[in-house]
Structure 1
Amino acid sequence: MTPPDDLPDSAFEQVRPAYGTGSLAEIMPSVAAVLGVPATADVLGLRESLDGVDRVAVLLVDGMGSYQLPLLPGLDGLAARTLTSGFPSTTPVSLVTLGTGVPPGQHGVLGFTSRMPDGRILNHIHWNDDPPPARWQPVPTVFERAVAAGVACTQVTRPEFEGTGLTVSAYRGAAFVGASTLDEKAAGILGALRAGPGIVYGYHGDLDRAGHEDGVASPAWTAAAREVERLVAMLVDGLPPRSALLVTADHGQLNVPPTTRLDVSAIEGLAAVAGEPRVRYLHVAPGAQEDVQAAAASLFGSSALVLSRTEALEVFGPVADRNLGRIGDVVIVCLDRVVALASAYEPPSVGRLVAYHGSVTAAEMTVPLLSSVRGSQ
């Protein structure tokens, strides 16, 4: 049974990515600008609230969208504002957007999976060195730019993520600290802050996992939310002088009942399927564009936007030529509580999840930016 996540009607309104003004892409450049990294801009206006700070920790809580925040009352004491993710609103896209400080169209990580030029499908989560990360994602990270300017950078995340394609694409330049448990993550982040001025990035993924497996607001998700509150409390209590903690997320989530899961596999004319259930990339056989797009529009009706690649481009930000082919010839953007499964192209486990994300609804696209500052005393 799908647990109720009690989302209001506003959670299903469409939200455009706020590239250049208030998206994930502006967080790290704004932090870097406050700490004196050349050629970076404090677009988010952090300087006033971070006056006197010379070290900043940014903690990303996977899956903690703005519409999930009311279910984490332990975070109420932090100053809060709302940003958007990039598009699609999914983990690999958001992590690289955060780390590079540019929209997805520029860095090229454009979905959970993408079709490579040779026809293979790249899963950005299960990715090592094929293709080489710096070739697939060549945009320098904010961490590289900061280190080149003499600002120390550290990343604190699970040990098994060291050296993966996604880690290299998003955070290269930052020294790696492996941490599995909550206590280890808090110790790693606080230890790096106490070591001296600089930027510290931390990642916590358990809330997202609980949502996918059991649903937002399920008992397992609620237990994971209490752990997030505990981690943030440890960090706030342990902040050394002249430091700040920023807490954000890569996306929100929404629960999808079994009755609204449509499968694109039977559409004729498909050459490959990539993306993810809330944003599908259909790569079509030569001459099949119109037929595939019409079949997808008929299947989904008003429950999705069915767009050509050209029609979809603007939500990615400016798209570099090298990245155009990573977007499907037809793009399905699901609305409401609907997903586009692709049972013939991906593992059955994808269709057994409870909560999903990736699309343009406010529940998925809006993320918080929370802050706590400890001054010089």
Structure 2
Amino acid sequence: MTAPPPPVPRYGTGTLADVSPSVLAALGVPGAANVLGLPPAARVCVLLVDGLGWEQLRAHPDEAPFLTSLGGRAIDAGLPATTVTSIASLGTGLPPGGHGLLGLQVAVPEAGGLLNLLRWSDDAGVDPGEFQPVPTVYERAVADGVAVRYIGLWNLRRTPLSRATSRGAEYLPADALGELVGRAGTALREGDRAYVTVYHSDLDATGHRRGVGSAEWRFQLRFVDLLAERIASVLPPGALLCVTSDHGMVDPGERLDVDRTPALLDGVAMLGGDARCRYVYAEPGARDDVLAAWRAVVGDRAWVVPREEAVADGWFGPVAPGMAERIGDVVAVPHGGLAIVASEREPWLERMVGMHGSMIAAERLVPMLTVSGPT
């Protein structure tokens, strides 16, 4: 069996990196490209539903009648299709190669190890303003006089990840659905123009624990649909609600355990990324041997390429100076039902049922839906 050609994200033509610049353009912020063609609006709310893929939404219209009724289309999350990368693309308006938050676990050459960007703490000694140095879209909006609010989980309000991706916005912590709706309704009425982002994580968490094909996931989707409908109901006149996501999800049926496959460990210094988009960092001089070994073991179950090829082929969009080193010397992206796990070093990841990160449509494509407030 021959692997299909990789469906490389078409950055700049309708991806998550195009959402925030399009919002800025709709708000009248100078210099922003409205790639998505959003209508002019003085107040815009972006509801980011973690883990809501386009294919999953279309497959469950009964669980999401409100979302299904909205106009919109699929856009591309980019690679890897994972939360930290997608949130950074939304926050900067740049593809992954531009902002440098290139996966769940990436090499930090100056620190000599891996950095888990979801569990990133100040103790890691990596300054978020230096690690992600690009001005955010929120800073651009504030500079133009827009009232900017980011509504998200209490435990994320002061983390390095939040400071790297949403600096410039006033962070309003909220966990419960009622809090999210109430704070969104208030924030949308502040100032002459308002840009409000609402982040909700429960659908993704349910998929990881129970699987995207589970009854629990479908029930959780009903709550997401209600959340979107309630936020739409509190939109001020003329405001715009955009509903999108950071990635889709699949339930891989096959596990390849790197920690129990000696051929995959020879010459490997560090293992980064996650189960659906692996970064393999080779020891000095071992890159070619590592690439050959991974291709031999993984076979046609994943796209396995050297970093230079992935970068040249545009997998991450244009890669800014100093960012390429964060990508593995070898990149392995499963395209079927394979999860590349590491039971000893990542037991928390091995336990997951639903996963994401790859370039296949079920993980890469996310909705971009819109609805306007009363006229």
In the TM superposition, residue 13 of structure 1 has moved relative to its aligned partner by 8.5
Deviations along 1:59-93, one digit per CA (max 9) or x if unpaired, are 10001010111224321221121100111000000
Tell whether 2:180 aligns with 1:185. yes
Tell whether 2:70 aligns with 1:82. no
Q: Is the 8 A contact 1:13 1:361 kept in 2?
A: no
Tell whether 2:343 aligns with 1:343. yes
- The one-letter amino acid of 1:212's match is H
In the TM superposition, residue 249 of structure 1 has moved relative to its aligned partner by 0.4
Which of 239, 250, 256 does residue 262 from structure 1 map onto?
256
- The one-letter amino acid of 2:48's match is L
In the TM superposition, residue 343 of structure 1 has moved relative to its aligned partner by 2.8
Corresponding residue number in structure 1 for 2:332: 332
Q: Is the 8 A contact 2:64 2:222 kept in 1?
A: no
Corresponding residue number in structure 2 for 1:18: 10
Please give the residue correspondences for 1:58-77 in structure 2 after superposition, counting only pairs within 5 Å. 58-70=46-58, 71=60, 72-74=63-65, 75-77=67-69
Tell whether 2:103 aligns with 1:104. no
Calculate the TM-score normalised by the size of structure 1: 0.92
Deviations along 1:160-184, one digit per CA (max 9) or x if unpaired, are 1111111111111001111010000
Q: Is the 8 A contact 2:151 2:199 kept in 1?
A: yes
- The one-letter amino acid of 1:95's match is I
Report the number of matched residues: 358
Instruction: Give the distance between the partners of 1:86 and 1:148, measured in 2 at CA.
Output: 28
Corresponding residue number in structure 2 for 1:372: 371
- After superposition, the CA RMSD in angstroms is 1.4
**Could you list the runs of 5+ residues in structure 2 that have no partner in the other structure?**
none
Please give the residue correspondences for 1:89-168 in structure 2 after superposition, counting only pairs within 5 Å. 89-117=81-109, 118-129=111-122, 130-168=125-163
Q: Is the 8 A contact 1:28 1:98 kept in 2?
A: yes
Tell whether 2:35 aligns with 1:43. yes
Instruction: Give the distance between the partners of 1:370 and 1:254, measured in 2 at CA.
Output: 22
Instruction: Give the distance between the partners of 2:225 and 2:31, measured in 1 at CA.
Output: 35
Instruction: Give the distance between the partners of 2:133 and 2:309, measured in 1 at CA.
Output: 26
User: 3-state SS of the aligned residue for 1:68?
Assistant: helix
Change (3 A) 1:361 1:14: farther
Instruction: Give the distance between the partners of 2:236 and 2:28, measured in 1 at CA.
Output: 20
Deviations along 1:143-162, one digit per CA (max 9) or x if unpaired, are 00110111111000011111
User: 3-state SS of the aligned residue for 2:35?
Assistant: coil
- The one-letter amino acid of 1:338's match is L
Instruction: Give the distance between the partners of 2:257 and 2:213, measured in 1 at CA.
Output: 26
In the TM superposition, residue 95 of structure 1 has moved relative to its aligned partner by 0.3
Moved over 4 A (4+): none
Q: Is the 8 A contact 1:64 1:249 kept in 2?
A: yes
Instruction: Give the distance between the partners of 1:200 and 1:209, measured in 2 at CA.
Output: 23
Tell whether 2:243 aligns with 1:252. no
Instruction: Give the distance between the partners of 2:178 and 2:347, measured in 1 at CA.
Output: 34
Q: Is the 8 A contact 1:18 1:83 kept in 2?
A: no
Please give the residue correspondences for 1:217-228 in structure 2 after superposition, counting only pairs within 5 Å. 217-228=213-224
**Could you list the runs of 5+ residues in structure 1 that have no partner in the other structure?**
1-11
In the TM superposition, residue 14 of structure 1 has moved relative to its aligned partner by 4.7
